[in-house]
Structures are given as structure tokens and as C-alpha cells.
Structure 1
Amino acid sequence: MTEDEISRRRLMQLSASSVMAQRVLAGATIAAVAATDAEAATTTVEGYILTRLAQNGCAKLFGVAGATCSPIFDAAGGATGVSLSVTSSDLGSGYAADGYARVRGLGAVAVTYGVGTMSLLTAIAGAYAERSAVVVINGGPTGDDLRLQRDYGTLYSHSTGKTGSDMVMFREITAYAGRIERASDAPRIIDEAITAAKMKQRPVYIEVAKSAWRQTCPAPVESLSIAPPAFGTEDQIAGEIADMLRRAKKPAILVGIEVQRYGLAEQTEALIKRLGIPWSSTLLAKAVISEQTPGFAGVYGGENSSQQVIRTVEGADALLTLGCVFGRQYRRLAVNSRGKMVSVYDGSVRVKSAAAKPASLSALVAALAKKPWTANPAWIAAAKLPGLSFDERRSGLAPAAVRAEAGLTYDEVMRTVSGVLDDKLIVITDTSLSMYPGSDINVIGRGGFMCDAVWQAIGFSVGAAVGVAVAGGRRPIAICGDGGFQMTAQCLSSFAREKTNAIAIVLDNGVQGIEQWILGRGYFANTTTKPKAYLEVDRWDYVGLARSLGVSFARSAATPDEFRQALADAKANTGPSFIVAAIKPHDLPAGLPSA
């Protein structure tokens, strides 16, 4: 065996060692893609990828062109059913694909090897943590590239000098990572990757050796058959859960993001109505089911939630959590409620402190819906909210201090946004202080909210809004702090290029407020106090920037009346819109302590 073959084998080993993929594929039926005679239909490697994406609900490929991935850019469009959306940055393309996937169930992104893919890591890691099925497509080195690097020390394009660096990194943040060395590998690897993405609702990585692009392979013959397997234990477990809930005096349900990712919103909403049990959702799963569903107690985001929702969730003597991804803000609940919680998550169920057992969320919801049940109206009566308006939801919070500064407050901005919402809008909040009042906006119906409450990367919202707008359906309103916006500001160019009707709101206070609150809350207690120097944000001409990037509707607002008018005009505008909301530098939303 030559050294060149050894290097190529190393790359194949990295691909094959994805243990997660083996688990994902257990129980899945993948349609055979094989030629039965010499006249069987063929396609190219890039054609096969695009066909499978289209068959599974992804009609858009986001990316930034590079020589290693140009063949799939050339192939996109036309009869493939997948059109191309070129963004202004690699990171922006990752966020756009993530936002698209959260709406459509599958997204795709392609950028160039190394310099492009490494810029994607933050976005794809967030998709992994928060269960978003993004297919990362990457052109990689050929056998000759590897040989010349090894024998002569000449690095191939965008190489770090190490073999398989992209594969190594993406294996850590995907459910499947595979490399296509030759066209004959393509059908199996592509089918395994897309099956893994759909079944695990997590990103996957496909690397194609540059020499394999444009080579022919058998065309897909049948659609992939993807159905998360039931384990046969769900009915018994559902019986245990039903008995536990019947015996409880204060039962509650906490809805998580996997309910939406696996298409179980309607079934879960029907189950909650049937059980008549008070319920909440995590912030990541806000409005996954309609908050108008009886028994809604508010969004539970940990210790900074309203006392009413804390009493409902943390005070429950039997708590059923369905598909919840718990970030650090849920540690207190996870620790203190372990002995009274049933956690259904990531293909398993844990009843109280017992060992986790394999179980399908969809099969378990279906089994629970069939169990004999008599609801107790007193349960919902005890947890009922005063109302669903922004102020009614937040009525139990300690009021925010009034600051003698020019500008708007976070609560004023979010109250105004809440007031304009209808069933055609989706709010996308960023990681900023606005996400706390954002949990209490009155979303109408299902699917009107998106955030990155677990991964918490600043700048997510504006990039994700590109994908959400392109996906169709609800019109996005992205709400982003000024520090976060400066990470992904160029995404406004995609707002215009794609002729979207997306709305972006930047909260301009000149400080990374959420970091300042974490590191030094005393800043917010006194208007003469300066923030930590490294948390000050450069003051940009945001309106001028937006216009230079092609968004002609760009306004600034410094008072409640100005903001209400700007938002009303933006809603009436048929193209992309941009609003800068000047925020009082020392303002905190209601409920957040300044000491």
C-alpha cells in the first residue's frame, strides 16, 4: 500500500468512525439506489446531492462560492429543484441555512474548504446544540493534493497542513460526517447523511473530493424512507407516566424544541388539551404549540422567569418534559426536580432518577393520547395567567427602574413588537437583554418565534432571518443588540439581494448589555457608571450602513411614538426594512436585578 493510499484511507476512516451515524441509521429503511442494467438513469455527484435535498424539502442552497465547491453552485437551479442563495459571508450563509432548516425541516450550505468551512463552525455548532438539520457540503482535497502535500510539503488550497482537518472538526458538531472519494461512494454516503439529518434533527457533513465532482453515479431511484423507529417500550412507559400524573396534586408539562423539530406540534397540543394539565415551554420552544392552548402558564426560562411560571414548573409534584434541550439556565430545575420529573429527550426517556430507556418521542406522545384519562379543572385554574398580553404576562415581575436617560427601554420595544404581531409574522430574538421580555410577547398561533436560547451566539437573528424569509411562510422580524448586529451586519445585503420582506431591529445602546449584566450588574444601578471598556460597542451610522447594503427603508427611533410609527411603516412596507431603536444605556428589562 502506498503512502498516498494510506492518507486517503485515513480520510475514509475519519468518515467511517461516526458512531452516531450508526445509531441514527438503526431501524431506518434507506431505499436502494442501484443500477439494474446498463441503461439505468445516471446523474452527477452534485446532481445526486441536489436531488436528495429537493426530495426532502430543501429547495435552497446557501453559500459563498469557492473553487472547491463551484460544481454544485453551477448545478443548482433549473430542474434540480434547488436554487442558489449567495450570501455576503460564510458565517451568514450558515445562519441562513440554519434559519431555513428550522422552518422547513432541512437546510443546506456550501462554502469553500478550510477558510470557508471554519467560518461556519459557530453556526453549525449552534444547529447541533439546538437540533437543526443543516447539510454542510464541502469540496475537499484530491488524492494528488494529499500526495504533493506529504511528499513535497506544498499545502493544497486552504490546507492547515494536517490531513482531514475539516472532517475532524465537523465530526464533533454533526450527527454524521462522510467523505466521497469517488462517484461510486456518493449514493450511499449522501443517503446516509440526509437520513441522519432528518432522523436526528442535527447537522451533517458531506465532503466531496474535488476530483469526484461532475463524475456520474446512479441517480436516485426511490425516495428515502425516513421514520424514527419506535422501540416497543413506549406503551408501557406511557402507562407509568399516566399513573404518575394521575397521582399528582400539581402536575405540569414543559414543552421542548424537539416537539417542533419532529413535526409533533399538533399531536402535542391535542395531548395537552386532553390532559388538562398546566403547561409551559422552554424559551427555545416558545410558541412551538399555540400559547392560546388552555393551561398555558408562560415561558419558563429559569430563575429569571415570572414567579407564576416558576411555581407551576418548579413547584410541580409531577413534571413531564417533552423534547427539552436544557441549557445552563435550567440547571436548578434539572437538579432540584430530578425526583419528580419525566424527561423525554434525544431518543430516550428517564422517569425520575431511574436509568434512561430508549423511546421515541412521537410514539410516546401517541401512546399517552390513548391512555384513559379524566382531567381535573382545578389544575388549570391554579396556574392560569391574568391574560396573554405583554403586560399581563409580566405583571408579576419587579418593575424596571426608571432611568433619566434619552431613548427607549427594552420593555417599550418588546411591548410594541408584541402589539403588532399576527399569524403572518415570526419574531427572531438574538442573545441580548431583549430575550427576557421577548419570552413574554404575545405570539399568535404556532411557529411565530425563533431564538438561539441554548447556544446563545450573538448575531444569529439577522442571519437566520435571511433563511426564514427565503423559506416562505411567516415574515421575520429580527431583534438584535448592536454588538450582535456588528457580527452579521452584512446579512442585510441578502435581505435586499433576495428581495425579502424581512424586518431587522437593532437595539442601539453602545454596550454589550447582556455581558455587562452578567459581569457587573452594578452598572445598571447608576447612570453615571461606565461599562467595562471592553464591552463598549462602536457607534455606527446604522441607517447609512443599511442603505448602502441595499435596504432603502431604514429609520431610527428614540421615543415610543417614533418606534411605533417606524414599526407600523415597516410592516406596511413590501420590501426589506431596518429600524434602529435607541435604547437607554442603563436600562434593564423588568424582572432583572441590578445588584
Structure 2
Amino acid sequence: MSMKLENGFHTETMPKATTIKPIANGVAAADKLRSQSRSIDNNGAAAPSPVIIPPPTTTPSTLGHYLARRLVQIGISDIFSVPGDSNLVLFDYFVAERGLNLVGCCNELNAGYAADGYARRRGVGACAVTFTVGSLSLINAIAGAYSEDLPVICIVGGPNSNDYGSKKILHHTIGLPDFSQELRCFQNVTCYQAIIDNLEDAQWQIDRAISKCLEERKPVYISICCNLVAIPHPSFSAQQLIPLSLSPKKSNQMALEVAVEKAAQLLNSAIKPVMIGGKKLRPAKAQEAFMELADACRYAVAVTPSAKGMFPEYHPHFIGTYWGTVSTAYCGETVEIADASIFAGATLDELETVAFSLTYKKNKAIIVEADRVVFPNGPSFGPILMKDFLSAIAKRLNPNPTAYENYRRIYIAESGPLQSNPGEALRVNVLFKHIQKMLSSNIVVISETGDSWFQCQKLKLPKSCGYEIQLLYASIGWSLGATLGYAQAAPEKRMVLCIGDGSFQMTPQDVSTMITLKQNNIIFLINNGGYTIEVEIHDGPYNVIKNWDYTAIVNAMHNRDGNCWTTKIHTEEELVNAIEKAMGDQKDCLCFIEVIIHRDDTSKELLEFGSKFAAISSRPPRLV
């Protein structure tokens, strides 16, 4: 059968199971489990175990088969998981499904972060955990995915269907016979919730949840009673699964025409208008339309920090990241002196605006949201899809490169960092000078919370070089799990993760999963002895953390089993040698490079950022 793939989503007929190339063969994994299944005897030794894995099938016959097949059909080839007593039978079906790889993570939080990273690349991700004790550990990662408009399918192995309403107190709960706390928690961070406690409507529930996930581009929650997974049922026995019923949104044509006319009048009368792209370009599937507009109008083009990588930085009119006082060189000045602007997909939250300190001319700014257009001091028009508006306005604007020409006139390239003296302690700007040299079309940069935010924003991304950041939710430690997931989704790319020691201590365990999966990520662990971003907002002894022997920890995870190379560096010369090795004879390994940096060595942007946030956090209370 044929398939149409649009930004990671299958929008037409369902593909064959082999259409999505698996990272690891699910059948091979099942065969391996059948032949090597082991348990622990009373003496702690490994002993054979009579584990039975369901055989691969071509036709779904049980709920477990059906869900596994649906996941493959929407483009998922990896599920990030942690086993528990209520999801084990379901996991058997995931293992047996052709083209589906069950990735075991060290904890639920990292499994959720991995699904987040996977969804950024594939357009949809999935994770599977056990009831309550597992899912509530997962929920922080799902909240972050919600903030980033990432379609993630959260699958929970639920209690036996007979226990609902039975007044029994179950393990993994908080000790009350009403164990609906999990559902109530997920109602706040998912766009749809399904509890499958019978087989009669299970097929509809699964399809409804997946459809909502794809339509809304938000996480969904599916809880499946553990005793239903393996029971055959006629609703799962169709020879061919029907396509998912998606309801694509449409623009109101009259509203679109009025909005385009009004926007054209404002922008064509301006002297030096600019364009700014935001992170909502991705969920709105409007990146191509934004590019079309940039090519047509020739305005200076900036992005907000969360949208870095969503617009090509080699574009002739790209001017950098607009981030208020911590913008890249001369970008902020160009945007803020513009006499008209169009913000497409920008989320102007506290972090994107450096504590709401942006000074662009709000009375001359058109805000294009996912489904409406908002004009300054005037009406908003909708429903209008972002991509429809951008494509339509591109045909109405007069080319006007004035703002870009002004930018080029005032732009003075920042001089690179001075060459280090032999044996001199490594400086952070020297580190990122060499990371810049590593970048190519097959690299994806993952930026963790902290000074890496600001250092990575200054990197110039070559064509097809990827970039990911989680700015709004800003969950410290997110990047390690996200790197794991993104690498599984894009095996043709190589991840470069920039993470501080404080963030690494939050989520280090799944470096071992990367090694197990034979990923060749390059991890720069920037060791400066604490939470540097917090230091610049408000310092105290709580920002100092125990120093670990990080390379020794990763070596212990490696444990002489897998491809892994580690090193600890103190100087520029050692850094150059480490990068040459990581890009050369260790290119097929996971490379862990611990970089020793002075505690007070930070970017000037972080100092400015910290000062702004210290001021906004210390505002006195309003008088009643």
C-alpha cells in the first residue's frame, strides 16, 4: 500500500510494515529473547526461564497485536520503556511485532525524554511504563513534551479490569481504593486520555487516542488493563487495518483574505520590516511556508531561541537569534528598530523574552499563531492556519531588503577567542570554537539548560545540521534522554550533546542504554562544579555539587561490553586531540569527553540573563 509522509505524519493510506526501516529487527529481538530468556534462581545465578514470546503475526488478533501494529503504521519503530508487572504481557507483543524495537531505559523519566527526542525527528514518539509508580515518574517528561507540542503516545500497563470499582487497595498506588490519581494527573499534560478496561471499544479507543495525538500534536495517555492484552477478539482480526481517521483543520477563506489584505497594507507601507520565526513553526507544519515568505519579501529574518535550526542559517537574509538583550550580534538592534514585524509561531514566554524585556515595536507587530492572525491594537482573524497565511501573504508583499542591508552595514564580526597558551586552562569560548569546526550536515546539536543555551545559540549551523533545545519547560537533565531518542530516530545523524555537570547528575543512567544500542553520540560534559545558570541568578552553597569522576562512571557503565571511549581534558591541545579522535578512529563509538572549565567561566549572555531574572524574581509584592 502507499504512504504519504508529511513532517513525520502518515496522512493517507497505511504503509506496509516494512516501509519504516527499523533500527533493530523486532523479530530478531524476539528470537533472541526466546532463546536466551533467563531468570534468577535462589542463589542469584542465571537460570533458564520458560518465557513465551508471542510469534510474529501478519494479521492482528489481540489487543496487544493491534496496538503494536498501529504504532508501526504511524512511523514508530522504537518504544522507550521500563518494565513492570502490569505491562509485561503487552511488552511481549511489542517485542514480537515486525519493525518494532522495544528500548529498555533505566528509568521512566529518561524514557519520556527519549520519546520527546524521537518525536522531534520522526513526528511522533512512544513510551511504555507501568501503572502509577511508573507513570508518575514519567509525567515530568510528558509535561515538557506538551510544552513543546510534541506528539508522544504514553502507554501504561494498567491494573486488572476486575479491580476497577472493587474497593480493593492495590500495590503501586497511594493506598486508596480509588486509584484514579494517575488519570487525573495526565489530564493536565495530555490532549486525550483513554482507559481501556474492555475489549468491545478498545479498537476505537486506541484509534481515537492516536488520531488526537497526530491532529493536536500533543501527548496522549493510553492505559490498558493487563488482563485484556492477550485475549483474541473479532475487532482485531480484520485482514487489513483501515486508515486512521484524521480531521485536518482548514482556514476560513474569508478571514484569510481579510487578514492578508490588512497585513499587506501594514507591511508594504513600512520602511524596514523584519520577520521572526518561532518554535510553533514546527507543529504548525509551516517551515516551508515561512521560507517561501522569506524568499519573496527579502526581509531580514531572525528566529527566537527555541526555533534555532528551524530556518536555514545559510539563507542570504538570516541575521541570527532574536533574544532581547542576549540576541546574537546586531540581531536584536535590527529587530527592535524595525518599523514593522511579523512574528510567526513565536511563543513570547518569560525565557524567550528574557524576563519580558523585549523592546520591539509591539504596535507594529503582526503575530501569526497556529490558527489565527493577531494585529496590533486591532482585531484577530481566524481560524487561519499559519502555513496558509504565510503562503498567501508571500504573494502580496513587495520585496524590501532595507532592514537586512542596515544589518550588514552595522555588523562587525565578533573576533574569535585568542589562541590558548601551551598548558593554559581551557576556556569555554575556546571549547565552542572547536565544536563549531565539527559541525556538518550529518550532525545534530542538542543543547542542555545552562550556559550551553547561550554558547550553542552562537554556533553557525551548516546546511542540514540539526539543533534541539527545550527552553520553555527548561527541565534540567532533559537533553540526555532526548539525545538517546533522537539518535534512535535518526541513525544517519551523529548527536553532539553539550551538557553541564549539574544537569548530567540528574539523568546519567541512560548513557548505558546508548552504549547498549551502539549509538555513536559525542557527549561534551562541561564540568565547572555546579549549577552555573543558578549561580548567575542567585548564588549560594546549594549551587555547588559533589564532583564525580564522570569518565570513570561512564567506563563503569561500559564495563568492557560495547563501543565506548572516554577522556578527560584540561587544555586546548587536549581538546583538539580528543575531537580528532572522536571524529576519526572512534567515529563509530559513543565518545564521552569531560571538559574541565573554571566555575566562573561563562558567556556574557548568561551574565546578562541572570541579572534580568534576579531582578524579576525579587520584585516586591503588589500592595492590595
1:298 touches 1:385 (CA, 8 Å); kept in 2? no
Q: CA deviation at 1:512?
A: 0.6
Residue 398 (structure 2) pairs with residue 374 (structure 1): yes
What is the CA–CA distance in structure 2 between the aligned matches of 1:157 and 1:377, rounded to whole Å? 62
What is the CA–CA distance in structure 2 between the aligned matches of 1:290 and 1:461, rounded to whole Å? 22
Q: Counting helix residues as a fraction of each chain, which structure ranks higher?
A: 1
2:336 touches 2:359 (CA, 8 Å); kept in 1? no
1:112 to 126, 130, 138: 130
- Equivalence map 1:59-458=2 (5 Å): 59-148=77-166, 150=167, 154-161=169-176, 162-215=178-231, 216=233, 217-218=235-236, 219=238, 221-226=241-246, 228-232=248-252, 233-306=255-328, 308-329=330-351, 330=353, 332=356, 337-356=361-380, 357-369=382-394, 371-384=395-408, 392=413, 394=414, 407-446=425-464, 448-458=466-476
2:534 to 511, 515, 519: 515
Partner of 2:599: helix, strand, or coil? coil
Per-residue CA distance 1:122-172 (angstroms, 9 max, x = gap):
111111111111110012223432344x2x5x3344455243111111110
CA distance 1:486–1:338, change in 2 (3 Å): same
1:561 to 560, 563, 573: 573
Per-residue CA distance 1:408-442 (angstroms, 9 max, x = gap):
33222222111110000010010011211210101
User: Which residue matches 1:543?
Assistant: 551
Q: TM-score by structure 2 length?
A: 0.80
What is the CA–CA distance in structure 1 between the aligned matches of 2:247 and 2:334, rounded to whole Å? 34
Q: CA deviation at 1:47?
A: 2.3
User: Which residue matches 2:4?
Assistant: none
CA distance 1:499–1:172, change in 2 (3 Å): same
Q: CA deviation at 1:185?
A: 2.0
Q: CA deviation at 1:78?
A: 4.5
User: Which residue matches 1:471?
Assistant: 489
Corresponding letter in the other structure for 2:445: V
What is the CA–CA distance in structure 1 between the aligned matches of 2:279 and 2:245, rounded to whole Å? 23
2:155 touches 2:223 (CA, 8 Å); kept in 1? yes
User: Which residue matches 1:459?
Assistant: 477
What is the CA–CA distance in structure 1 between the aligned matches of 2:314 and 2:451, rounded to whole Å? 25
Q: Using the TM superposition, name which of 581-590 and 255-264 deviates more.
A: 255-264
Partner of 1:511: helix, strand, or coil? coil
What is the CA–CA distance in structure 2 between the aligned matches of 1:504 and 1:60, rounded to whole Å? 22
Q: Using the TM superposition, name which of 352-361 and 116-125 deviates more.
A: 352-361
CA distance 1:374–1:102, change in 2 (3 Å): same
CA distance 1:261–1:138, change in 2 (3 Å): same
1:256 touches 1:323 (CA, 8 Å); kept in 2? yes
What is the CA–CA distance in structure 1 between the aligned matches of 2:464 and 2:202, rounded to whole Å? 38
Q: Using the TM superposition, name which of 488-497 and 356-365 deviates more.
A: 356-365
Q: CA deviation at 1:333?
A: 6.1
2:86 touches 2:157 (CA, 8 Å); kept in 1? yes
CA distance 1:130–1:173, change in 2 (3 Å): same
Q: CA deviation at 1:316?
A: 2.5
- Give the number of the structure with larger relative contact order, counting CA–CA contacts within 8 Å between residues 6 or more apart: 1
Partner of 1:366: helix, strand, or coil? helix
CA root-mean-square deviation = 2.8
Q: How many residues align?
A: 537
1:481 to 495, 500, 510: 500
2:290 touches 2:387 (CA, 8 Å); kept in 1? no
1:414 touches 1:434 (CA, 8 Å); kept in 2? no
Q: CA deviation at 1:337?
A: 4.1
What is the CA–CA distance in structure 2 between the aligned matches of 1:105 and 1:427, rounded to whole Å? 18
Stretches of structure 2 that go unaligned for 5 or more consecutive residues are 1-9, 15-57, 612-624
Corresponding letter in the other structure for 1:64: V
Corresponding letter in the other structure for 1:246: N
Corresponding letter in the other structure for 1:552: C
Q: TM-score by structure 1 length?
A: 0.84
What is the CA–CA distance in structure 2 between the aligned matches of 1:234 and 1:55, rounded to whole Å? 34
Stretches of structure 1 that go unaligned for 5 or more consecutive residues are 1-27, 33-39, 521-531
1:47 touches 1:75 (CA, 8 Å); kept in 2? yes
User: Which residue matches 1:18?
Assistant: none
What is the CA–CA distance in structure 2 between the aligned matches of 1:122 and 1:385, rounded to whole Å? 46
- Percent identity over the alignment? 28
Partner of 2:326: helix, strand, or coil? coil
Q: CA deviation at 1:593?
A: 3.5
What is the CA–CA distance in structure 2 between the aligned matches of 1:113 and 1:516, rounded to whole Å? 38
2:271 touches 2:402 (CA, 8 Å); kept in 1? no
What is the CA–CA distance in structure 2 between the aligned matches of 1:373 and 1:190, rounded to whole Å? 45
What is the CA–CA distance in structure 2 between the aligned matches of 1:346 and 1:373, rounded to whole Å? 21
CA distance 1:482–1:395, change in 2 (3 Å): same
Corresponding letter in the other structure for 2:147: A
Partner of 2:268: helix, strand, or coil? helix
Corresponding letter in the other structure for 1:354: G
Q: CA deviation at 1:355?
A: 4.7
2:89 touches 2:226 (CA, 8 Å); kept in 1? no
CA distance 1:184–1:315, change in 2 (3 Å): farther
Q: CA deviation at 1:48?
A: 2.2
What is the CA–CA distance in structure 2 between the aligned matches of 1:385 and 1:50, rounded to whole Å? 57
